[in-house]
Amino acid sequence: MEDLPDRSCAYCGITSPDSLVHCQTCDKWFCNAKTSRAGSHIVTHMVFSKHQSLCLHPDSDFGETMLECYNCGNRNLFVLGFVSAKTDSVVVILCRLPCAASKNADWDTENWQSLVENRQLLPWMAKPPSEEEIQHARPITAVQISKLETKWRQDKDATLMDLDQEEVEEELEPILMRYSDAYQYQRAFSPLVQYEANYDKLLKQSQSLQIRNIEWSLGDNGMRLASFTLPSYDAFAIKLNVGDPIELKYSGPELGDPWQVSGYIVRVPGVLNNYFTAELLASQSDKMPVHISSGFTADLVWKGTSYDRMQKAMKHLAVNSKTVSEHVYSALLGIDHQPTAFPVSQKQNYSVPKSTKLNASQDNAIKSVLSKPFSLIQGPPGTGKTVTSANIVYQLAKRQKKPVLVCAPSNVAVDHLAAKLESLGLRVVRLFSKNREDVESSVQHLSLTEKVKSTAAIKGFYKSKDSNGKLSAADEKQLETLQFKEQRRLIVNSQVVCCTCVGAGDHRLDKLKFPSVLIDESTQASEPECLIPIVKGANQVVLVGDHQQLGPVILSRKAGDAGLKQSMFERLIHLGHIPIRLDVQYRMHPCLSEFSSNIFYDGSLQNGVSAESRIRANNMFPWPIREKPMMFWGVGSSEELGPSGTSYLNRAEAINCERAITRLFAEGVEPSQIGVITPYVAQKEFIVQYMGTHGTFADKSKYLEVEIASVDAFQGREKDYVILSCVRANDNQSIGFLTDPRRMNVALTRARYGMVILGNPRTLSKNSIWSRLLLHYRECGCLVEGDLDNLRLSNLQLQRSVPYRAREQGSSTPTSAGDLFGSQLDLNLHGGAQSWPKLGSELDTPANARSMHDDEIKNLAEQLQGKIRF
Ligand SMILES: Nc1ncnc2c1ncn2[C@@H]1O[C@H](COP(=O)(O)OP(=O)(O)OP(=O)(O)O)[C@@H](O)[C@H]1O
């Protein structure tokens, strides 16, 4: 079965020269057969392996030809397209940016067309094999392909035969809503956590990322730092966070032997730079290839700590139900129990002196929380969740001797809350994980490690370490004991301990009890993650969040669908818990909050800011209605695949984005006040490149300072002006990530002063909630099209679709990593064909794919033969 000629598709064995192309990176051949909706074999391979350059078969119509940009030589298949000559009947291959984006006297660059269409190479480049050829080809499933690609990373000669055919697909039981005891709870969640851990491991270990432009330096602590960009890193397919371990490798010609070193990420790309920085586990004296700056790869290293801690928390609750109070236990599991009430004073206002004066809903929330063992607070965007949480913690801390445990799933949220708590005058300790200790943080001074270092008992040891280089073995031991003692003392004497949910499982908190726990942004944590701080002795739990905004990020669709994507907050709401809702928003111009309020919050969201206070004095931006700083700027463009082959971009939207930003700059708006939200990483990159090359504002550096990020990255944040580039524009009405109403809710509620939505109304209107949005903008007189200086109302026919009902749909839409930045391969290696690599959250159907008949292809190939300039 494996006895195939060298030049045959490494997946299916097809040998026809017209259909085969050669991957220049791995020296394998692939055909252009599209047997699944994920893409043709060659495109699937390029996407999976992140390989980029291709050569046509020597016996094909065009002969052995490297696909590259005629102008600059760029060989990334996903940025290549062709344009025709203006006068002659020849075509040329050019890259999308910069070569095809500049006007050219000879070439019709305005009609550039990508070489990949519908995730298949254009048929005149490599012919799709005939039905008959496909039938006779070696059968290979999507799961086998994904396993084979993973195997090739370790063994480039692996074949289908090497895959374990016996492996049985694991079934996952969906979670329950109620549990009779914590054992049953553990039995439901534990396999899901395990599955997610395995999936994450496989995903990380299958990634070897090409590094570009490595820069070497030394950190303040004498450790080697390497800063680099990862051009093939699909930024949001796999999360690479601060603290994550990596292996840096080099096996190029400039060193005799392959070289590698371990390290961990200490900085990730920010608004102004594209660099990752890794601290390497090598000191100044170690020999490093600092004279080499290219040819390195970074392997991601999987870390199972967070999963281990979730498992441990579930086990802890199962074997020791008394670790939490009876009320908390019953509330968690959905067991009926007598409600209990803690005594609270009837005082009217809980505002802390000299801090924000609380509104009635915030004040009621605090009163209610203090009297109950288990509370949920739902805070729609900008309603003061953080302010309210801080005030709750303040009241709890004043009432009890033991510190309050304050957690959130993300470090950013924990830092934010820790700073707020400190500003209220509380004694706060911030517990960072070991890998984050060296990472810059706004609350570094609250760090447990920093505080311990500055205690009188410890200081001397560090001084001596600094002057002598190291401590004696006996001193090291003594320091360790003293550090432990000081840590305990500081924690016990604090009023608040702040850490991430996973951080609450840190050994430094072992054996300590925290009767009160508040979890901010709890709707972004998975249920087992939330459990970690709760099992540390809780008798009073407060979950703060909003289940109408984005939920936890679960990598495996299968584990997510079995229930892991549902937060504890959401399950408890399904069980009948009524959340206390904060109902006054202080962020948006009232016209910007209206749609979200009506669709997601039963129209209950009130405005704590007036329209006047959200209109800038010299408001000259061409809003269709002057008093309403919002518009849906319809663009009848189409989407394209981005450079990684896994993400989309939309050139026309990028152009309009630049125009809107330039206009805001001209009005004196600063870059830091503007945010561009786009679900696709390819669009982000394209906008950055486009503004850099084509931006018309005199000071081009300003464009670089505008933050462009995914919806997910903007959750919990705000900007004065937001431009949302929807990107998806196709005839199939696939809108990918945009189908998630919660993601839409987040995207629409970030702007304070003005919002511009760039999208294709025709594509978007086929989705019920987007259709509602379009109708809303039309009813407000803000659905427009045309030039920014000459906008006109769009008269596109919009369908009145089935009304969207937030409570029915909002919580059930998938929120997997596959939706993040909408660009990802959902590499569900155990998931069967439906979860095969896909773009966004929807797949194009074959019925919609444009197909060409064989003779048409032949004609076209013949016509083009000899007329293409490679
Ligand atoms: N009672 C209040 N009076 C006046 N301003 C308030 C009040 N409560 C909150 N704010 C202001 O509203 C803004 C949003 O508050 P906060 O960041 O706590 O909201 P949030 O609910 O956490 O937002 P998000 O949904 O984005 O997470 C802040 O500028 C805050 O100072």
Tokens of 800: 């009145």
Quick check: 239 and 250 in contact, CB under 8 A? no
Whether the CB-CB separation of 705 and 735 falls below 8 Å is answered with no
State the Cα–Cα distance between residues 674 and 663, nearest whole angstrom.
12
373 cis-preceded (ω within 30 degrees of 0): no
Residue-level pLDDT at 756: 98
Question: CB neighbours of 686 closer than 8 A, spacing ≥ 6?
Answer: 96, 97, 642, 649, 651, 654
For ligand 1, is residue 359 a contact (CB within 6 Å)?
Answer: yes
| Amino acid found at 774 | L
In 3D space, the residue among 463, 414, 465 whose CA is nearest the CA of residue 436 turns out to be 414
Pairing of strands 245-250, 296-300: antiparallel
pLDDT at position 818: 30
DSSP state of 870: -
Q: What is the pLDDT of residue 853?
A: 39
Q: Report whether residue 387 contacts ligand 1, using a CB cutoff of 6 Å.
A: yes
- Dihedral sign from CA coordinates of 368, 369, 375, 376: positive
Q: Are 239 and 817 in contact (CB under 8 A)?
A: yes
Q: What element of type H or E holds 484?
A: helix 473-493
Q: Is the CB of 379 under 6 A from ligand 1?
A: yes
Low-confidence ranges of the chain (pLDDT < 70): 1-2, 37, 164-170, 206-207, 231-239, 270-273, 283-285, 346-348, 437-439, 799-870
So what's the pLDDT on residue 438? 66
CA distance 674 to 691: 14
In whole angstroms, give the CA distance from residue 817 to residue 192.
Answer: 16
Ligand 1 lined by 381 (C-beta under 6 Å): yes
Q: Whose CA is nearest to atom 22 of ligand 1?
A: 385
Q: Return the residue whose CA atom lies nearest to atom 1 of ligand 1.
A: 358
Q: Quote the Cα angle for 794-795-797, to 5°.
A: 125
Q: In this structure, what token pair is assigned to residue 613?
A: 């206070």
Helix (H) / strand (E) element for 734: namely none
Ligand 1: atom nearest CA of 389 is 18
Confidence at residue 506, expressed as pLDDT on a 0 to 100 scale: 96
Residue 72, both tokens: 């600059």
| Mutational test site, ligand 1, from 386, 609, 746, max ligand atoms within 8 Å of CB | 386
Measure 480 CA to ligand 1 centroid, in angstroms.
Answer: 42
* Residue 242 Cα to ligand 1 middle (Å): 27
Query: Which residue CA neighbors atom 10 of ligand 1 most closely?
Result: 384
Task: Tell me if residue 62 falls in helix, strand or coil.
Answer: coil
688 CB burial (10 A radius; 0-12, 13-18, 19+): middle
Nearest-atom index, ligand 1, CA of 750: 26
Q: What is the SS3 assignment for 217?
A: strand
Supply the pTM of this predicted model. 0.80
The sheet carrying 868-869 orders its strands as 113-114, 80-84, 91-95, 868-869
164 half-sphere exposure, CB direction, 13 A CA radius: 6
Nearest CA to ligand 1 atom 12: 586
- Compute the distance between CA of residue 592 and CA of residue 679 in angstroms, rounded to an integer: 20
- Cα–Cα distance measured from residue 646 to residue 128, given in angstroms and rounded to the nearest whole number: 21
Residue type, 309: R
Q: Whose CA is nearest to atom 19 of ligand 1?
A: 384
Residue type, 456: A
The SS3 of residue 405 is strand
CB contact at 8 A, 721 and 589? no
Which residue's CA lies nearest to atom 18 of ligand 1?
384
The residue whose CA has the least distance to atom 30 of ligand 1 is: 384
- 382 in contact with ligand 1, CB cutoff 6 A: yes
Atom 8, ligand 1: residue with shortest CA distance: 384
Q: 383 CB less than 6 Å from ligand 1?
A: yes
Residue 471 has a pLDDT of 74
Q: Is the CB of 356 under 6 A from ligand 1?
A: yes
- Rounded CA-CA distance 657/633 in Å is 10
618 Cβ contact list (under 8 Å, min separation 6): 667, 668
| Residue 684, C-beta contacts closer than 8 angstroms, at least 6 positions apart | 676, 678, 708, 709, 710, 821
Taking the centre of ligand 1 as the mean of its atom positions, its distance from the CA of residue 385, in whole angstroms, is 6
Structure token pair of residue 297 = 């790869």
Closest CA to 411 of 244, 582, 234, 557: 244
Structure tokens given for 790: 């000459």
ipTM (interface predicted TM): 0.97
Nearest CA to ligand 1 atom 14: 382
Is 545 a pocket residue for ligand 1 (Cβ < 6 Å)? no
Q: How many CB atoms lie within 10 A of CB 508?
A: 18
CB 645 near ligand 1, within 6 Å: no
CA of 382 to the centre of ligand 1 (A): 5
362 pocket-lining for ligand 1 (C-beta < 6 Å):
yes
What is the 520 CA–ligand 1 centroid distance (Å)? 13
Give dist(CA 650, CA 735) in Å, integer.
13
Q: What is the residue whose two structure tokens read 């490149």?
A: 689
Partners of 632 in the β-ladder: 757, 783
Residue 800: per-residue pLDDT: 58
Distance 608 CA to ligand 1 centre (A): 10
Q: Are 324 and 538 in contact (CB under 8 A)?
A: yes
Structure tokens at 849: 């794919």
Give residue 512 CA to ligand 1 midpoint distance, Å: 32
Which tokens sit at 327?
A: 């009320």
Q: Could you give the C-alpha distances from 711 to 236, 383, 820, in angstroms and in order? A: 11, 19, 8
Ligand 1 mean position to 577 CA, how many Å? 24
Exposure b/e, 491-506, CB count within 10 A at least 16 = b: beebbbbbbbbbbbbb
For residue 546, give the ligand 1 atom closest to its CA. Answer: 25
For tokens 């089935």, name the residue: 802
Distance 738 CA to ligand 1 centre (A): 26
Contact between 604 and 378 (Cβ < 8 Å): no
Q: Is the CB of 391 under 6 A from ligand 1?
A: no
Cα–chain-centroid distance for residue 720? 22
d(CA 510, CA 162): 45
Distance 566 CA to ligand 1 centre (A): 25
What letter represents residue 386's amino acid?
A: T
Ligand 1 atom with the shortest distance to the CA of 715: 26
- β-sheet bridge partners, residue 226: 216, 278
Q: Tell me how far the alpha carbon of residue 386 lies from the centroid of ligand 1, in angstroms.
A: 7
- C-beta 745 within 6 A of ligand 1: no
If phi > 0 it is left, if psi is from -120 to 50 it is alpha, else beta; for residue 716 that is left
Q: Which segments of 726-760 are extended strands (E)?
A: 751-759
Centre of ligand 1 from the C-alpha of residue 584, in Å: 9
The token duo for 98 is 């910069």
The closest-lying atom of ligand 1 relative to the alpha carbon of residue 416 is 17
pLDDT score for 165: 52
Atom of ligand 1 nearest to the CA of 381: 25
- Cα 700 from Cα 711, distance rounded (Å): 25
Q: How many residues does the chain have?
A: 870
Q: Hey, what amino acid is at 385?
A: K
Cβ–ligand 1 contact at 419 (below 6 Å):
no
- Nearest CA owner, ligand 1 atom 27: 716
CA 260 and chain centroid, separation: 29
